[in-house]
A and B are shown apart, each in its own frame.
Chain A
Amino acid sequence: MTVEGTAERKTARGGSKRTTAKKATPTKKAPQSQAGNGGRPDEAEQDQLVQLLTPEGKRVEHPDYAIDLSPEELRGLYRDMVLTRCFDAEATTLQRQGELGLWASLLGQEAAQIGSGRALRDDDYVFPTYREHGVAWCRGVDPTNLLGMFRGVNHGGWDPNSNNFHLYTIVIGSQTLHATGYAMGVQKDGADSAVIAYFGDGASSQGDVAESFTFSAVYNAPVVFFCQNNQWAISEPTEKQTRVPLYQRARGFGFPGVRVDGNDVLACLAVTKAALERARTGQGPMLIEAFTYRMGAHTTSDDPTKYRADEERLAWEAKDPILRLRTYLESEGFVDDAYLAAIDEESEALGKRVRDVVRAMPDPDTMAIFENVYADGHALVDEERAQFAAYQASFADADAIAEGN
């Protein structure tokens, strides 16, 4: 039982299964007055994650989410994940070297992002948070463009409409409403594309996320909510965000929610494809909770050793999304050493390009402060621009006089 609120749902089975599990292990039952497991799946619920590839790299089937990919497509997913991780590691290093002011690593979330990202059609529209580097990769956004914001040369260095990939949104959860409004527009246009909004487990506590659920449900907007539950909102665990599994929230708003193994790229792909198809065919929104893990820090300013145990990270490393796909590909003979070596080479090249581009990234022109504040202009901005330009020019004049002397 994974889907909440669909017509096919068999309530009794899902309910009784959980009850039975709790009865069998009474000593583990949390007191009612406490936060319980905060939506973290216990053993019984672990079985309910949609999974098509086990942590051991074994292919399994799911009755609702069949998927049949060619070896080439599977290799493509592997390549995407490896290059995304490589890019991410490169960015982290650049931050350590002082080239970036900050970096928000996606380490551990490659499957959630590549799986969902590769489910999208070109005409779909993405509203990311600030960690969706893998989704950006799938959309064809040049990865070096993602770094401008973190280097401090802009607030987003790409044209959202070139790749149907909106700018990163830093205020938590705001973009879920933009996605919903955009989806309402898609619906008004009579288009058959869909919109996807990314957010995290921490954002699920924000009012904007709840409001976006309400709006999308009442207008039946073609939007998919993709929550990457990486279990940590900086230092706050999921227990501090919710008492029920996050995917179950959708039911109360009147649309289905599903929990997928976020470290299983095939499951993320299959479930997102299905959700997008629902949206496109007028069946309204859907919530996907990709249950995954942030293996690194929240950002490079964060120190996860202060709030979480090493054992937890080590346990999740065993579920590494890239390793499990590689194990599967190798076991099927879909990749050989030459192919893997070629990917490594491509990673090297990407890393070098990222380093070179970032280091050469120019600071913006000073007068950029005044650009694009308003689309149609504003008298005060014009006045301040002119005053500041004159002030700047006064130094040049002084220099010229000094040189003349």
Chain B
Amino acid sequence: MAVFEKITIAKAINASLRASMEADPKVLVMGEDVGKLGGVFRVTDGLQKDFGEERVIDTPLAESGIIGTAIGLALRGYRPVAEIQFDGFVFPAYDQIVTQLAKMHARALGKVKVPVVIRIPYAGGIGAVEHHSESPEALFAHVAGLKIVSPSNSSDAYWMLQQAIAGDDPVIYFEPKRRYHDKSRLDTESIPDPLHKARITRTGSDLTLAAYGPMVKVCENVANVAAEEGKSVEVVDLRSISPIDFDTVQSSVEKTGRLVVVHEAPVFFGSGAEIAARITERCFYHLEAPVLRVGGFHAPYPPSRLEDEYLPGLDRVLDAVDRALAY
């Protein structure tokens, strides 16, 4: 039994890819710079050395080509794990993901499967240049046929990726790049939660914070600060954005009566809107306040010197908590 008391998310993903490739010879890793370099974030470090160029494939710099050929490989019986180097570079592949990958199983009346996993380092907070800090999850969640997940800790990073690879559906696996070097516990022999199950990471009774990926840590910090102020905040790590485990959110909101949804992506038409609408339908008579959302603005991702203002931080989330509690 391997237990790592402290392992980074990046290393956990690497270990997860390694475990998947060892378990199934059909699993391939492909993308720009994933081979010798080990990826620009070194997430695929050492994989090509151990599994060879046939299974860890450095691709031409062509995102549509990466996803389009991954679809073809999947049709041939492989399980490609394609890396898109940065969030903002996924759009040249958007057509292949949306018109082909998402729909092929349905189009074929279930006769073919396209188990392609797309890993995307996403979201901001690393001081990057334009197109390197985006949160496009809602654009994908709107498309039937895709599953969207985002882990927030090393254990989830390790298990959710393996679950995504082992499943028969296309999965977009958003890696919170600013958390790559955060360390947390990983037990590689434990029994993981189901891929799409939300998890309560802090219990509380006054208000529920729902978040995923990079915002979970912010929300946990908010819960700690709020506790010092005598407010009991519960934090739900959604883990999965399509589908969303509304049952877990509903149970929490039925207990607390208040919900604030937090994500980095723009609030307008974001996943918070979907959660607010559904939870309002399900919990109308339990809600003590309207569901509030905290997220990015309806503006292009700003230059990195301004990103701390753009991204929901401790203060903006605490402000929303106070507003919700004031009703």
Contacts and interface: CB of A to CB of B under 8 A. Distances in A.
Interface stretch (A43-51, A327-335, A372-380): A372-380
B62 interface: yes
A178 B108 contact: no
Contact of A179 (B72, B106, B167): B72
Given A182-B73, A208-B64, A375-B168, 11 more contacts: A167-B107, A169-B100, A174-B96, A178-B69, A179-B72, A181-B72, A189-B76, A374-B147, A375-B105, A376-B169, A378-B242
Interface stretch (A57-65, A210-218, A303-311, A346-354): A210-218
Given A208-B65, A214-B65, A379-B196, A371 B72 contact: no
B111 interface: yes
Interface stretch (A6-14, A81-89, A151-159, A267-275): A151-159
Contacts of A189: 76
B113 interface: yes
A375 B169 CA distance: 6
B245 interface: yes
A109 interface: no
Nearest to B58: A218
Interface string A206-241: 011001101100100000000000000000000000
B76 A378 contact: no
A177 B112 contact: no
Given A185-B73, A188-B78, A376-B168, A211 B109 contact: no
A56 to B, nearest CB: 42
Given A171-B99, A182-B76, A374-B145, A155 B243 contact: no
Contacts, number: 141
A166 interface: yes
A100 interface: no
Contacts of A375: 105, 110, 113, 115, 167-169
Interface residues of A, number: 42
Contacts of A208: 64-65, 68, 95-96
Interface in B38-58: 54
Interface of B: 54, 59-60, 62, 64-65, 67-78, 80, 92, 95-96, 99-100, 103-113, 115, 144-145, 147, 167-169, 196, 242-246
Nearest to A216: B69
A188 B108 contact: no
Given A161-B112, A211-B68, A166 B62 contact: no
Nearest to A378: B243
Interface string A192-208: 00000000000000011
B108 to A, nearest CB: 6
A149 to B, nearest CB: 9
Contact of A160 (B96, B108, B144): B108
B100 A174 contact: yes
Interface centre among B59, B67, B72, B106 (most CB of A within 10 A): B72
Most buried by B among A171, A183, A188, A212: A188
